Amino acid sequence: MGKRTSTAMMRIAIAGAGGFASLLAQELSRGAYAILVLSTRAHPEFESSYDCQVAVVDYTNLEDLQFVLQGVDLVISTISGAEQLNLIDAARRARVRCFVPSEFEGAINRRPPAGTDPFDNDSSTALEQLRHWSQSRQHSMKYTVFSCGVFYERFAPGGLREYNMGITCRIRNQGDYMIDVGDGRAEIPEASPQGRPVYIVMTSAVDVARFVAAAVELGIDTWPREFRMRGTRLTTLRLQEICSEVRGVQFELITRPYDEIEQWLRYYEQNGDQARWYYMQHLLQTANGRYTFGETNLNDAVEVQPTTFRQWLYDTWGPAQ
């Protein structure tokens, strides 16, 4: 039997039923694919809105997961931790052709070393598993990471919570990450450890879903190990300036030198203030370049015109009343 290459014949499983999974289902349902959504509870709204099937699964039951994934070509994960590790194992056993892990953030080579990442949540273990199975001589499974930087929706009214996203990243609420657009406040890293301006890559979650769907049309057998896309790349200072310009108000701005961020991290750790410790960790990771990269390889490969951050901000917030 020849190798399957027609995208129209593909069966795609989306693991998770949160806000980003919903966007993926919406975009992929525009193509001639069989869409299967894996969730721990029923979601009839997926079936009615996107003409897809929802399978209620127990991520601790590998045999059931393997059974559900039989005949699936591509798995796109929006879950993390032990659930994703079990999903990878089940996908490999079910002979899934390609796996997309839940790594929709900065580029892989900008992450902290394994064992030192405060936001890891078994991410490094998942990537190591995928590397191992991609090199297996028997029933190898390809994988591709989609790197997009930071979702614009971190800066939306209500934050990621309003989009049913960000459950595991500890920045679900408005103002949890650098800028509170509604209150006109910003707290940003002043410079990188080398004293250079801090850059950040950002993309709207809607556009990331569009990019993923467009990449599927290219054919998963042609995918590289990592796809990089972006809507906007700019410095943290310019990010704050755009927020101020669009809102038409002067923002209250705090710029944190790198060594000061490190000092605050030690202080919050000693005092057991976990919320502020994570807040400062996000500033430190941003200053370290976790969410930036230079060249993209997906923007020019597909016909997706991503929304700029300024336009997204104007459409989402508009000028202050």
Rg (CA), the chain: 20
Burial label for 186, CB within 10 Å (0-12, 13-18, 19+), is: buried
Q: Mean pLDDT over residues 90-97, rounded?
A: 97
pLDDT at 187 over 90: yes
pLDDT on residue 8: 59
pLDDT at 166: 81
Buried/exposed code over 238-263 (b: 16+ C-beta within 10 A; e: otherwise): ebbebbbebbeeebeeeebebeebee
Beta-carbon count within 10 A of 227 CB = 22
- What confidence score (pLDDT) does residue 5 get? 44
Mean of pLDDT values over 50-55 = 92
Mean pLDDT of 80-98: 97
Reply yes or no on whether the pLDDT at 2 is more than 70: no
Look at residue 183 and tell me whether its pLDDT is greater than 90: yes
- Averaged confidence pLDDT in the chain: 94
Q: 167-179, pLDDT tens digit by residue?
A: 777 788 999 999 9
Taking residues 217-226, report their average pLDDT.
Answer: 96
Secondary structure (3-state) at 315: helix
Q: What is the mean pLDDT of residues 116-121?
A: 91
Average the pLDDT over each of 10-24, 37-51, 220-234, 278-292 and give the range with the smallest value.
37-51
Q: What percent of the chain has pLDDT over 70?
A: 98
152 secondary structure, DSSP code: G
The CB density around residue 4, as the number of other CB atoms within 10 Å, is 12
Does position 6 have pLDDT exceeding 70, yes or no? Answer: no
Give the side-chain half-sphere CA count within 13 A for 35.
27
On whether the CB atoms of residues 287 and 198 are closer than 8 A, the answer is yes
The pLDDT of residue 168 is 75
Q: CB of 56 within 8 A of CB of 43?
A: no
Rounded Cα gap, residues 117 and 113, in angstroms: 7
pLDDT digits (tens, 9 = 90+) for 238-266: 999 999 999 999 999 999 999 999 999 99
**Mind listing the pLDDT tens digit for each residue in 293-307?**
999 999 999 999 999
Q: How many CB atoms lie within 10 A of CB 131?
A: 11
d(CA 142, CA 312): 34
Quote the pLDDT of residue 4: 41
Q: Calculate mean pLDDT across residues 60-66.
A: 96
| pLDDT at res. 159 | 95
pTM: 0.95
